[in-house]
Amino acid sequence: MASRARLVSVLPLLAVLVVGGWLPTAAQIQGSTYTSPTYGYTVTWNSRVWTADPQATLEAAGPDALDRLLLYNANGTLYIEGSRRYGGDPNACIGGEAQALASESSVSGFAPLKGSNGQPIAGSQGGATFAAFTATLTTQNGTKVDVGDYLECRTLVQGESVIVATVVAPADQLPQQVQLARPVIDSIALPAKGQLPAAQVFANLKDEAVKHAGVAGPLAGSVPLAVGSLNKIPAHVSLAQFYVTATFVNPYAASEHAWDIGFGFRDGGDDAQLKLVIDSDGDWYFKDGLGPVIASGTAAGLNVDAGGSNTLELATNGNTGYFALNGQFVSTLDLSSRQSAGDVFAASGFFTEDALGGRTTQVKAFTVWSLEPTAAAATPTALAPVEAQTFDRWVAVARSEPSAAGPKTGELTTSEGEASVVDAGVHARDFYALVRFVAPPGRDHRWDVGLAFRDQSSGEHYRLIINSLGRWTLQNGSQPAIATGAVPSIDLKPNGVNTIEVVAAGPTAGFSVNGRFIASLDVSAIDAPGNVWFGSGFDVSDVVAGDVTRYRDFEVWNLDGRGLAVPATPTAGTPVPSAAATPLPAAPTGAPLAVRLAAEGGSGVDGLAVLTPQGDATLVDVTLRGATGGELLVIQHGTCAALDPSPAFLLADPDATGRSQTTLRTTLADLQRAPAAIAVHKSAADYGTVVACGEIPGT
């Protein structure tokens, strides 16, 4: 029989595959009762049977906001975990957790555990789904241990999150350990309706905000550090209720000199604003202007290395603020001292002792979303923003009248040092444009195409560029990128035909590729009409003289004076029609497939990809650890040792927490027919460096 020390140190590997490595946070344990800090459910146990391990608890860890309680006894380990995974579906939870366990490199012989009737132990009871498995675990010293694993999943929040109970024990002890765990699992009590923990309120506010286009950003820039003055990057908004995020790159190591980062908000100018500051010791401070510190505390998980980065998030709701650091919820803030709307800014060097003159702090992905009760409060014009929910309606409005230019068909031949373009010959601020182009055949170098618009006599204009790596970039002329991202729906095969559609309306624009909406764009800096072009060779590094790009159906519709009005705020007493509930996505039609992404070349980046079949499509959910930002996720034919350089499928860029979700228009079976791998490339500029890779098992 295995000892308790082995069970505690080895067997937990089976139960934490998806999230292993996240740092523990303070336990929410009082006596023999645990309260989930993120989801508010409680668990109780008999302390004569089970012992809690406070050091193994997790709070809102990783992109799935995982809360964990670990209990153990002499022969088994019990995990109770809450997680924003599987859309709240217990059946999908069992399949996903089992697949992740089976794919772990230290596990072999993973199989369903059969009962006395010869059938697998699995089923549903009382709203929970359960299954049992056996496996052989190889420890680090080569010892093989036969273990049993019992999984039970239940819905935590419908359509959103689950609770997972996992019992791990030597195979011959599993039935007894499940019996001992039964009272603990049955003790799980959900919070009363309306009594959500602060971390969950923050998550809900964030989810609500990002359903719509941001009102500012993503912005990037350098903040010079100066003793005695505060330099900042303003968002140029006027909001009291909002969600904001930004990634700050450390100006130097904390061991060299102190530094700080943070947000100013509800800014009325001069020193009239609220400030949230985190210093390089991991201490946070909340102040109103130059007044005394209102609140302070310590934030775990701060990266203090030279060149390291930290992502700060803040959401406001009335007189309460909620903030998180590097994906971990930290605390609430009392905002009652300053309730009026104002600007939001990102800054560094709030405190004199934290500024090393002559250095700079880089700020990336600084983006603000409105949480005001009416969208009109954050929208500077009467036009509805262009976002996924309104893009098709904008297209319908445009096509209700004849186009202003086109359709045009032809070829573009590039010359050294300049882009080759064809102009539509229109003069519009707001428009809808469509063009189809043919991916150049047989090239051994990069290429790009794009649409330019709002061309001004000063030379300023927006360029939306798409290149042969499946990346999009928005620029003002030849200036540095305003925003960038991936285009998962593009067909990069030689002679592949792609359709680009762009809508610009007031301060926002949006675009789709091959019928899939890609992104909303902030185009508020050029608020004037201009010409629209289609071109190739915008990036001089992509230009080879004589290259030809074929295009057709280049057509532009003028939307000036037309469009969608922002919905009015209902007046008091006016009944508001209730919309029909949005149906949940169809359940997966097969078991998920887990793919481990191993670090390449000592990069320190690894992760897990879960491929879930969804009818004729496949959901690819990737979680990276150790990513520094800017990585590209690509499915390529071949093996990790011999990758076909051409992308087969492009995956969405990982967010600040390392999470990426993409729905591919292909079946999982098709992905498994030929050798293929999921590769993580260092960046668009360093595409040749693969920092992590995992091969998709074939059929």
Residue limits of CATH 3.40.1000.10 in the chain:
4-196
**pLDDT-based confidence at 336, cuts 50/70/90?**
confident
Residue limits of CATH 2.60.120.560 in the chain:
203-378, 391-558
Judged on CB neighbours under 10 Å (0-12, 13-18, 19+), 456 is middle
Give mean pLDDT, residues 277-301: 85
- CATH homologous superfamily, domain 593-696: Superoxide dismutase, copper/zinc binding domain (2.60.40.200)
Give mean pLDDT, residues 668-695: 86
What pTM, to 2 d.p., does this model score? 0.39
- For position 646, what pLDDT does the model report? 67
With DSSP H G I counted as helix, E B as strand and the rest as coil, what are the percentages for the chain, rounded to 5?
10, 45, 45
CATH code for the part of the protein at 391-558:
2.60.120.560
Task: Check pLDDT > 50 for residue 22.
Answer: no
**pLDDT-based confidence at 12, cuts 50/70/90?**
very low
Question: How far apart, in whole angstroms, are the C-alpha atoms of residue 502 and residue 521?
Answer: 10
Helix (H, G, I), strand (E, B) or coil at 129: strand
- For position 417, what pLDDT does the model report? 64
- For position 588, what pLDDT does the model report? 39
- Fold held by 4-196: Protein Transport Mog1p; Chain A (3.40.1000)
- For position 659, what pLDDT does the model report? 83
Please report, for residues 8, 12, 113, 173, 319, the alpha-carbon distance to residue 1 in angstroms, rounded to integers and kept in the order given: 14, 17, 20, 9, 57
Query: DSSP string covering 439-506, please?
Result: PPSS-SS--EEEEEES--TTS--EEEEEETTSEEEEEETTSPPSEEEE-TT---STT-EEEEEEEEET
pLDDT mean across residues, the chain: 81
CATH code for the part of the protein at 203-378:
2.60.120.560
pLDDT digits (tens, 9 = 90+) for 223-275: 888 777 788 888 888 888 999 999 999 999 988 888 899 999 998 887 889 99
- Give the rounded percent of residues in the chain with a pLDDT score beyond 90: 21
- For position 98, what pLDDT does the model report? 84
Task: Check pLDDT > 70 for residue 401.
Answer: yes
Residue limits of CATH 2.60.40.200 in the chain:
593-696
- Give the rounded percent of residues in the chain with a pLDDT score beyond 70: 88
Give mean pLDDT, residues 432-439: 92
- For position 123, what pLDDT does the model report? 86
Task: Check pLDDT > 70 for residue 300.
Answer: yes
Tell me, letter by letter, the H, E, C secondary structure of 329-367: EEEEEECCCCCCCEEEEEEECCCHHHCCCCCEEEEEEEE
